[in-house]
Chains A and B, each alone.
Chain A
Amino acid sequence: MTRTRLPTGAVVLLGVAALAVAACLSLAIGSRSLSPGAVLDGLTALVTGEASGSSADGILSARLDRTLIGLVVGLAVALSGAAMQGLTRNPLADPGILGVNSGAALAVVLGLQFAGISTVGGYLWLALLGGLVTAVLVYAVASVSQGDQSLTMVLTGAAVTAGVTSVIAGVLVSNQGALQSFRFWQVGSVAGRDAVIIADVLPLLVVSLLIVGLSGPVLNAAALGEDLERALGQRVHLARFVVAVGAVGLAASAVALAGPIAFVGLVVPHVVRLVTGPDYRRILPGSALVGPVLILLTDTLGRVVTPPSEIQVGIMTAVLGAPVLILLIRRAVLR
């Protein structure tokens, strides 16, 4: 009956080990697989700057880019999902499901099409704006609704996503030339981009990371319901607002880097909770480690399931995440 929990140190150790394995797989496996030795040699060469000139160098360098981007995106999306679940006390919350990702993507696409914005730094602020607007909209609809708030939130998010996706598709149709690059804004991908773009999102990423990373106690108090949260001395509106901006900031950073990636923010915190229990001071760091693991593993899987072509990571996570969503809904309804 008594429940014992793994110590935080052990959780972190497990997460780091899993992350190391996932990163190695992501570097080694692909249309052309590299032996662990070749990966190691190539990495040393990249670090020391002495390219050996072999074709493995190019492959490895591209894989390193997508691994690094996957790492950052996984961290951002999973933390964002964990924070959103805590803030809304909704087990189904996730930047994808609540429509924040697609809102952010729409803003980027509109900026791209009508304002000619085409730098990652530009995408970032567009994504933040689009994400914030969507978050406010979904929150507003849910708070005026009479029924189940959790459900309203999810349905509103789904409606926003459906509407936004068709607008993006509309823009896409009117701009045939950009078809390939626009697809990226419909379903996310970590492939084919240079890792230096991470530097472009760093300001927002770091600030959001700090906010959400330190929000464990806030989310722990929020989990007890608004009355008790207040009675425990939390300034409810201020705290919620700040953490929500952090969560949207993380989602926007991820969208600017890789486009909208679904379900990772939903699934990861639930998996982490199985080990850590309901303490957000443990769920958050756990999610920050497991998020990248999931992205890297699904991205790697996407490279090998349909050779010689690849499947975008955003599609892979959706395929794997949908059954989990159904499971969670069943549990939420039966409860």
Chain B
Amino acid sequence: MTLQSRNLSLAYGKRVVVEGLDLDVPEGRVTAIVGPNGCGKSTALRGLARLLRPTAGQVLLDGTDIHSLPTRTVARRVGLLPQSPIVPEGITVAELVARGRHPHHGLLRQWTRDDDRIVAESLERTHTTDLAGRPVDQLSGGQRQRVWIAMALAQRTGLLLLDEPTSFLDIAHQVEVLDLVRDLSVEDGTTVVMVLHDLPLAARYADHLIAMRDGAIVAEGRPRDVVTADTVCDVFGITCRVRWEHAGDVSVIPLGRHLPTHGQESPEEPPHARVRVAGRP
């Protein structure tokens, strides 16, 4: 399943937020979108998922203009987890995950045993089976995020768009969610596009990195080619030191205005100032 955008422009009313976006989502891979707040990451994702009608250009799903496809057909192929979805009051984990089956139902096609099985599998996949009967509003952030992903999995789409699945999570829960994303890609061949804020984590978990600024792509490619001091400066407007290690880990140290900088050239730096992330893939 391929997802592409061609010269895509998206706007809210007169306000153009994304302009001339050309994007080829690599199939079966994990793509991460990074960029400053308000640069249009969520908007781009909403455009890709057919939630917004483009003001120019188009989104192609398997080569077909996504707006020429019925809503339901798209929903069976592309799943989207919005940045802040609403948890209905008192809903349990199993009930929430079951709502992911919505696009597969209609007036004549009601709930079946197949749906039960798919919900159970989605819970299992996200290690939330034990939580099935718990109210979602009583879960920890990490558990809750896994439950949302389970709901998206129950939709059974080959393509998942996740908007900031790790925001507001502590580092352990971020790794937990990202490991799950990696599993989905490696084991199930799911194509994932996610918006992340943490550059080292994005570099470590994504096969493909897209850096956005002001509604356009600034850099795109393998994480090693994208995460450079120049690009970070270009995208976020900050000076920082970027160090790549042979294992594919990267540390990004913002220099800021107040702390002693050791100078950009100096390769020596105190070990405690490094941001390093250990985790799997």
Binding site for A on B (CB under 8 A): 46, 49-51, 71-76, 78-82, 84-86, 88-92, 95, 99-100, 102-103, 105, 107, 132-135, 138, 155
Q: Per-position contact with B for A252-295: 1 when CB-CB < 8 Å, else 0?
A: 00000000000000000000010001110000000000000000
Q: Is the CB of B138 within 8 A of A228?
A: no
Interface residue A4 (Cβ < 8 Å from any Cβ of B): yes
Q: In the complex, which residue of chain A has the Cβ closest to the Cβ of B152?
A: A231
Bound Cα distance A225, B95 (Å): 16
Closest CB of chain B to A211's CB: distance in Å? 11
Given A232-B103, A233-B103, A273-B90, A224 and B75 contact (CB-CB distance below 8 Å): no
Q: Is the CB of B88 within 8 A of A223?
A: yes
Instruction: Compute how far the CA of A231 lies from the CA of B51 in the bound complex, rounded to whole angstroms.
Output: 7
A231-B49, A231-B82 given; 15 more Cβ-contact pairs under 8 Å: A1-B134, A225-B86, A227-B46, A228-B80, A228-B85, A228-B86, A230-B50, A231-B75, A232-B102, A233-B71, A233-B72, A233-B103, A234-B71, A273-B90, A277-B95
Tell me the smallest distance from the CB of B105 to a CB of chain A, in Å: 6
Report which of B74, B91, B134, B155 forms a contact with A277, defined as CB distance below 8 A: B91
Chain A residues with CB under 8 A of B99: 220-221, 224, 232
Q: Which residues of B contact A224 (CB under 8 A)?
A: 85-86, 88, 99
Would you list which residues of chain A between 52 and 103 have a CB under 8 Å from chain B?
89
Query: A234 to B90, Cβ gap below 8 A?
Result: no
- Sample 5 A-B pairs with CB under 8 A, ordered by A number: A1-B133, A220-B99, A221-B102, A227-B85, A231-B78
Q: B95 is contacted by which of A89, A273, A278 (Cβ under 8 Å)?
A: A278
Q: Give the contacting residue for A3; candidates B74, B84, B134; CB below 8 A.
A: B134
| Residue from B73, B79, B88, B132 within 8 A of A231 (CB atoms) | B79
The answer to whether B51 touches A227 (Cβ under 8 A) is yes
In the assembled complex, A214 has its CB within 8 A of some CB on chain B: yes
A235 beta carbon closer than 8 Å to chain B: yes
With the chains together, A1 CA to B50 CA distance in Å? 38
Does A2 have its Cβ within 8 Å of any Cβ on chain B?
yes
* A163 CB within 8 Å of chain B: no
In the assembled complex, the CB of A169 is this many whole angstroms from the nearest CB of chain B, namely 38
What is the CA–CA distance of A293 and B91 in the complex, to the nearest angstrom?
26
Which interface residue of B51, B105, B132 has the most chain A CB atoms within 10 A?
B51
Task: Say yes or no: B71 contacts A223, CB within 8 Å.
Answer: no
Is the C-beta of A217 less than 8 angstroms from some C-beta in chain B?
Answer: yes
- Minimal beta-carbon separation of A61 from chain B (angstroms): 41
In the complex, the chain B residue whose C-beta lies closest to that of A273 is: B90
Contacts of B49 in A (CB 8 A): 230-231
A218 smallest CB distance to B (angstroms): 9
Are B92 and A277 in contact, CB atoms less than 8 angstroms apart? yes
Residues in B neighbouring A234, C-beta threshold 8 A: 71, 102
Which of chain B's residues have a CB closer than 8 A to the CB of A214? 107
Query: In the assembled complex, which residues on chain B have CB atoms less than 8 Å from the CB atom of A227?
Result: 46, 51, 80, 82, 85
> Which partner residue on chain B sits nearest A232 by CB separation?
B102
Residues in A whose Cβ lies below 8 Å from that of B50: 230
Taking CB atoms, residues of chain A closer than 8 Å to B84 are: 225
- Verify B51–A278 contact, CB threshold 8 A: no
